[in-house]
Amino acid sequence: MGAGYGIPAPLSKCGWIHRRTRRYAIRTDRVHRETGLSESGGGGTNTNGFWPLDRSAYSIRRRANFPGTRQSITAAVEVVLEVARRCGCSSDHEVDLEIALREALSNAVIHGNEEDESKSIFVRCYGGAGKMLLILVRDEGAGFEPSDVPDPRSTDRLQLDHGRGLFLMRELMDHVEYRRRGSEVLLFKRWS
């Protein structure tokens, strides 16, 4: 995980999720354990108080809905990359964004919506002048528990040609968070 992105101590600063405070607190506790992010100091704490989910920090906003088909993945990626470019994203970071986003969208289409063309994929993208991007991808599926997905680096999974999407997203993005029982993923990336 990237350095400098901590969970805020006062949950009220995240007003748009205040109705889910209890579930949010439980979820962020899990994020702290899994990522080493901390609200009180240590690994990955942001010293300037920035919280990636505070949407007021973003000046560019795009919302788009796509049919839940594999063909719509490229269109969704282009919407997000357009915002990233407007925020000054370099080509190196653009590649990371595209890979992580394609994985999130593929998971939404294939696993979430089970390739049901009547279901949609919802993409929200927030870009900031501080060279940062917050992406939300949501499907209409039942969700999943991310901790149940096996580590693709284990010896019995190394030869498989699938099962690396969540790992890649976590490696390429600065912050990844699953919400709505896994049917929604938040991806955050900051670059210099």
CATH code of 167's domain: 3.30.565.10
Out of 60-64, 87-91, 161-165, 188-192, least confident range: 161-165
State the DSSP code for 114: T
Confidence of residue 52 (pLDDT cuts 50, 70, 90): low
Question: Is the pLDDT at 165 greater than 70, yes or no?
Answer: yes
* Core vs surface per residue 139-164: b (16+ CB within 10 A) or e: bbbeebeeeeeeeeeeeeeeeeeeee
- Asked if 41 and 89 sit in the same domain, the reply is no
Total structural domains in the chain?
Answer: 2
Structural domain of 178? 52-190
pLDDT at 8 over 60: no
Residue 168 contacts by C-beta under 8 Å, 6 or more apart in sequence? 99, 100, 103
Is it the case that residue 61 has pLDDT exceeding 60? yes
Task: State whether 158 and 115 are in the same domain.
Answer: yes
pTM for this entry: 0.69
